[in-house]
Structure 1
Amino acid sequence: MTDFSCLDWFEKLKAGRSPLPDALPLDHEEARLAVETFNKLRLPDVPGQPLLRDVAGQWARDFVSAIFGLVEMNDDRTMIVNRKARKFFQLVPKKNSKTTNGAAIMMTAMIRNRRPNAEFLLVGPTQATAERAYEQAEGMVKADPWLSKRFHLREHLKTIEDRKNGAKLRIRSFDNKVMTGAKPVGVLVDELHELGKISYAAKVMTQIEGGIVANAEGFVIIITTQSDEPPTGIFKDELKLARSIRDGEFKDAETLPMLYEFPTAMQADKAQPWTDPTNWNIVLPNIGKSITAERLLPKFREAREAGIDKLSIWASQHLNIEVGVGIGSDGWSGAPYWTSCVDKSLASLNELLARSEVCTIGIDWGGADDLAALYVIGRERKTKRWLGWGKAWARKSVFERRKGIVSSLEQFEADGDLVVAADGEEQAMSAAAICRRVADSGLLPEQAGIGLDSAGVALLLDALEAEELTQPLVQAVAQGWKLQTAVSSVPLKLEDRRFLHGDQALMAWAVGNAKQTLRGSNYVVTKEVSGAAKIDPLMALFNAAMLMFQNPEAKGAFDADAWIASYA
């Protein structure tokens, strides 16, 4: 296997060069012949049907050169005996001849093919997507008299057959039967970002990649834009792999990435430098040919005027900006703003209470090998900003079972934000005491002031009852997709600095651990999504937020000085 890292990829993009390694181990004769074949194909849906030689960008030829040149030939050059790369991942924005170039690559493969009865497949998330690539390939055959003689177009079957050796190029829809009985030489997978939304996509991709192994020259090409939703499933996995190979983090690979995107820092930059049209040429390899900045500007302005949702979708498709947090991550969309919303005085619960007109408390309870967490949100007098403070508990068993986070837990304990409890009863009593403390301030509403996940909270409910804190003050908060309001709206408050917190390392850790995904039409952050990473303090925050969104009023007036003195 070969090292396909390209650490200077962004410098190459800025210079208008392809983001590929400089010294690819190509068979230069095979690469040259493939590029010559590609160049002789005609663009079927443009007046005059020009040759790709005259209209395709050099970046497209570089991709062709890599696909067909990363091979080992036998001594008499009659067949390919091995491939140095079997998968090629190209991330390129819309309107950059993505589908046309993909069809041309597959026609090049058909023309250069040496294997009798070989099968080549065009696969898309829908039949219509696959058909678009087929129609371009079919048009290339019709536009050239020589190709029309060599290839038989079986239009009703969406199949192009080579009269010379029986090879076929056909479309397949993306389903569990896509590879039944097939051992293709080459497969083009179009719009992988749409496949990421299909539950069985990983299984089908495994079938595709397994199918090509039967042929020494077998290859899979993935050509896709960025997703118009936070990346999920197989798209997320393939993109993560491609980035890790490009960045030199994974060198023992058979995948060659070619990614047209801005660096993480540039995507996450609050100044949004990617919105400057003078930067667009960096990620638009076909600029000046199939697309221009001038043609993109009207829709860009419309999307920006319509708001962040429309702009993020536009940017994902035309500039490969990742939806959600705008960076190469699947983190919670509030994470990029967390560190910019610090008010260090709020590391003290007393300070939060002294500045608030009303408070809500969220609790997320855990088992013997999990954290328990509590979060207080106060609505500040006059400004109406939200103020936040958190606390967590861990039993000693957590330190024994979660060795990977022991050092972090020890830091949080030293900070005073994590309490190590002897047992569940002790941590429940400790949490209930904080709730009693906030209740004594008079800042809790009469109803729905303490919200919790109802799972496994028997000891906590007993402790709250002992503090005379019961329904309707204490209420269950629905979890999963029903937390959508908090998951999606808290980031907006953070972005505008309408939510301040005390810069507790415990909370920053939980925020950084959280993963966000799309379920149906809702973004969710759950323990299941985030895996083994601990996010209990953030879930407690969400519970408190859901109650604060109800615009509560405090039960009684609050004399801050007198209250603080009572707890001195």
Structure 2
Amino acid sequence: MNQTWSFACPDWVDRLRTGRSLLPPLPLNQARADRAVRIFDKLRVPDIAGQPSFGEATGEWFRDIIRAAFGSLDDQGVRHVPEIFALVGKKNGKTTNGGGLIMTALLVNEVPRGEMLFIGPTQEIADLAFQQAAGIIEADEEGYLQKRFHVIEHLKMIRDRRNKAFVKIKTFDMRVMTGSKPIMVLIDELHIMGSLHYAARVLGQIRGALQAKKNSFMLIISTQSDEPPAGVFRTELDYARAVRDGKIAQARMLPLLWEFPASMQLDETKPWADPANWPMVMPSLGRIFQLDAMLAGYHEAREKGPVEERRWASQHLNVEIGVALGGWEGTAYWGAAGDESITLDALIARCDVAVVSIDGGGLDDLLGLAVIGRDRASRDWLCWAKAWAQPDVLDRRKRIAPRLLDFARAGDLVICEHATQDFEDVAAICAKLHGAGLLPEKAGIGLDPAGVTHIIDALAAQGMEGDLVVAVPQGWRLSGAVKGLARKLKDGTFWHAGCAMMAWIVGNAKPEQRGNATVIEKAAAGEAKIDPLIAVLGAVQLMSRNPEAHGGPSVYETRGLIEVDL
């Protein structure tokens, strides 16, 4: 791709604030771009009263997509914008506009028998997409579209009678590419596909088929996920953001992301909840929907509690859910306490004492380890956590498998290569802390009393046993740690490594009130794992005893850091 085709848009925040286009300056074929926009604008929206034209109903944001998609085709038949990733909230007309794009593509297409696919995540959304495209044809008052295109209801297909090109509406599954050789693909609501373990493979098949053609094009258009982004959606969103921010120069994808900057999403004052800021991420506001309607929906969601408020914000404002609100009270402060500089070695270097807690470890479970150290200068608590999973988890928990694989790629979760790797790795970390002289003489390593024989043996093999290793009571006995950790998160004296895995796990915490005790049970979280959080709470329990290191000054101060390969 020529260097002039740069998809970076470093001033995107300012563009959103001032209502300007997110389309970076591209050397488009203006005649092709204008022709496609004119065709798109003349089509009629089938599901709005009075059936206005797309030119009347649709904002400039979607015309930018049309311009980039069709104006990037040069005279040699090469399309210089082969992919677009558009992130836009509900009520902005994604599916309807997608139908308009597909019909525009059919009208400008010059490839005989060219195949185009509109892929929805579910049968319902796929059917809706087909009805939108068919409705556009029916809404043509002059009858031109009815004469040119044959709508085949039972096949969910629309065929051009002139050159036999056609569009098929399909549901996203392993068979989506069976018998297909498309020149154009539109994928709707990718976020719903994030939990599908086969989604990356299917998307790879689609890309493989398209990349064989120099004039091919793919549009991915999606709302933000109502859960922490995972799987293929997480991968594509991260790639799109990196391109937008100029971190990837030679990119395949043009990103158009209507989302608030991270600073606004993480701010405890919730600036994203101020309707004055909504036009930044609602490009169709004032056209196909009005502010009053959005306010009514938001107020209703807010009355139902923080969980529903955040869910609404994820779907309409593209506010990314890092930790779910409305569960454990500490979740509201978890994000702001992240500090990516906290590694295990940094914790060792900064702290005068540390404790370790270990929890979980079943074949369909996670084994969580948490280290909490006390900063020798500030006395703040620094937390570093890691998890292990046997491969069985990926088979038994297919819904969360893509998410777990994301955490493994990030280095926060280890998928064990042999049956005892988790115990051996945990013992090595404990030995590293013990060798640094940071563990207290007593109660330095805490374990869930259930099923700890193998861990105790692994620790003993490293010379750690006796009073150093203790049981940490579970259930209601952790209530003090549950409340204490929430307090320290709020007052800014607890810091963690800011990893996505722990953000997800903290969001899974579902507290139950039992008398005066607040209990976070594994069973309450169901399929969504919380073992590393229980490990953190166990470490909080140990650190709350105000321990002193048994080993005196850390050997790291005189010998340098010892690296452990995990």
Q: 1:53 is matched by which residue type in structure 2?
A: G
Instruction: Summarize the Cα distance change of 1:567–1:314 in structure 2 as closer, same or farther, 3 Å threshold.
Output: same
Q: Assess if the C-alpha contact under 8 Å between 2:87 and 2:222 holds in 1.
A: yes
* Aligned twin of 2:284: 286
1:30 equivalent in alignment to 2:25: no
Residue 366 (structure 2) pairs with residue 362 (structure 1): no
- Structure 1 residue matching 2:286: 3-state secondary structure: coil
Of the three residues 92, 95, 117, the one matched with 1:96 is 92
Q: Given the superposition, is the C-alpha separation of residues 166 and 465 from structure 1 closer, same or farther in structure 2, using an over 3 Å criterion?
A: closer
Q: Is the 8 A contact 1:364 1:452 kept in 2?
A: no
Contact 2:351/2:373 (<8 A) preserved: no
- Tell me: CA distance 1:207–1:40, structure 2 relative to 1, closer, same or farther (3 Å): same
- Aligned residue pairs total 459
Aligned pair 1:12/2:12, yes or no? no
Structure 2 residue aligned with 1:315: 313
What is the aligned partner in structure 2 of residue 87 from structure 1?
A: 83
2:118 corresponds to: 122
Please give the secondary structure, in 2, of the residue aligned with 1:71: coil
Task: Report the CA distance between 1:542 and its aligned residue.
Answer: 3.7
Indicate conservation of the 8 Å contact 2:227/2:321, yes or no. Answer: yes
Match of 1:396 in 2: none
- Amino acid of the residue matched to residue 152 of structure 1? H
Match of 1:67 among 52, 66, 69: 69
Query: 2:83 touches 2:252 (CA, 8 Å); kept in 1?
Result: yes
Question: In the alignment, is the contact (CA less than 8 A) between 2:99 and 2:129 conserved in 1?
Answer: yes
Maintained 8 Å contact 2:7/2:243: yes
Residues 113-512 of structure 1 mapped to structure 2, 5 A cutoff: 113-144=109-140, 145-325=143-323, 335-338=334-337, 362-363=357-358, 374-375=371-372, 434=440, 436=442, 456-461=455-460, 467-468=466-467, 474=471, 497=488, 508=496, 510-512=497-499
Which residue is equivalent to 2:390?
A: none
Aligned to 1:381: none
SS at match of 2:151: strand
For 2:289, what is the secondary structure of its paired residue? coil
Instruction: Using the aligned pairs only, state the percent identity.
Output: 36
Distance 1:166 1:437, change over 3 A: closer
* Partner Cα distance (1:133, 1:254) in 2: 26
Q: What do the CA deviations read for 1:369-427 (whole angstroms, capped 9, x no partner)?
A: xx9865489xxxxxxxxx957799xxxxxxxxxxxx9xxxxxxxxxxxxxxx9998796
Change (3 A) 1:181 1:517: farther
Match of 2:6 in 1: 3
Q: Classify the secondary structure of the residue corresponding to 2:440.
A: helix
2:78 match: secondary structure: strand
Give a deviation string over 1:323-354, Cα, whole Å, max 9, x none. Answer: 12499xxxx986523269xxxxx96669xxxx
Q: Conserved in 1, the CA contact under 8 Å of 2:226 and 2:314?
A: yes
Q: Kindly provide the amino acid, as one letter, of the partner of residue 457 in structure 2.
A: A
Q: 2:537 aligns with which of 525, 545, 549?
A: 545
Deviation of the 1:452 alpha carbon: 9.7
In structure 2, the residue corresponding to 1:222 is in which secondary structure? strand
Structure 1: segments with no counterpart, 5+ residues: 75-80, 341-345, 351-359, 378-386, 393-404, 406-420, 478-482, 527-538
Amino acid at match of 2:256: M
Q: Distance in 2 between matches of 1:223 and 1:426?
A: 47
Tell me the distance in 1 between the aligned counterparts of 2:449 and 2:441: 8
User: Could you tell me how far apart the structure 2 residues matched to 1:288 and 1:237 are?
Assistant: 32
Query: Structure 1 length as normaliser, TM-score?
Result: 0.70
Deviates more, 1:40-49 or 1:280-289: 40-49
Note if contact 1:188-1:220 (Cα within 8 Å) is conserved in structure 2. Answer: yes
Kindly tell me: are residues 246 and 333 of structure 1, through their superposed partners in 2, closer, same or farther at Cα, counting changes over 3 Å?
farther
Does 90-99 or 40-49 show the bigger shift?
40-49
Cα deviation digits, residues 44-71 of structure 1 (max 9, x gap)? 1122211112222122212111110011
Which stretch of structure 1 is more off in the superposition, 208-217 or 273-282? 208-217
- Secondary structure of the structure 1 residue equivalent to 2:212: coil
**C-alpha distance in 1, partners of 2:47/2:266?**
38
Kindly tell me: are residues 167 and 299 of structure 1, through their superposed partners in 2, closer, same or farther at Cα, counting changes over 3 Å? Answer: same
Deviations along 1:434-473, whole A, 9 cap, x unmatched?
Answer: 252689xxxx9xxx89899765442535899963577xx5
Change (3 A) 1:136 1:511: closer
Give the Cα separation in 2 of the matches to 1:372 and 1:276.
39
Residue range with higher mean Cα deviation, 191-200 or 168-177: 168-177
Which 5+ residue runs of structure 2 have no aligned equivalent?
Answer: 326-330, 340-349, 362-367, 375-379, 386-410, 412-426, 509-524, 553-566
In structure 1, what residue type is equivalent to 2:107? I
- 8 Å Cα contact 1:134/1:171 also seen in 2: yes
Counterpart secondary structure, 1:26: coil
Greater shift, 213-222 or 143-152, is seen at 213-222
Q: Which residue type is aligned with residue 210 of structure 2? A: I
CA contact (8 A) 1:12 1:19 kept: yes
Q: Please, which moves more after superposition, 422-431 or 37-46?
A: 422-431
Task: Supply the distance in 2 between the matched residues of 1:169 and 1:48 (Cα, whole angstroms).
Answer: 26
Match of 2:220, SS state, is: strand
Report what 2:344 is aligned to: none
SS at match of 1:72: coil
Listed one character per residue, the Cα deviations across residues 90-130 of structure 1 (whole Å, up to 9, x for unaligned) are 10000001111111001000010111111111101112111
- The amino acid that maps onto 1:338 is A
The structural deviation recorded for 1:173 is 1.4
Local SS of the residue matching 2:195:
coil
- Show the counterpart of 2:103: 107
CA contact (8 A) 1:161 1:169 kept: yes
Q: CA deviation at 1:298?
A: 2.0
| Maintained 8 Å contact 1:337/1:491 | no
Q: Is the 8 A contact 1:150 1:163 kept in 2?
A: yes
Measure, in 1, the Cα distance between the counterparts of 2:220 and 2:280. Answer: 21
Distance apart, 1:35 and its partner CA = 0.5
**Inter-partner Cα distance in structure 1 for 2:182 and 2:303:** 47
> Which of 133-142 and 9-18 deviates more?
9-18
Displacement after TM superposition at 1:299 (Å): 2.2
Contact 1:274/1:280 (<8 A) preserved:
yes
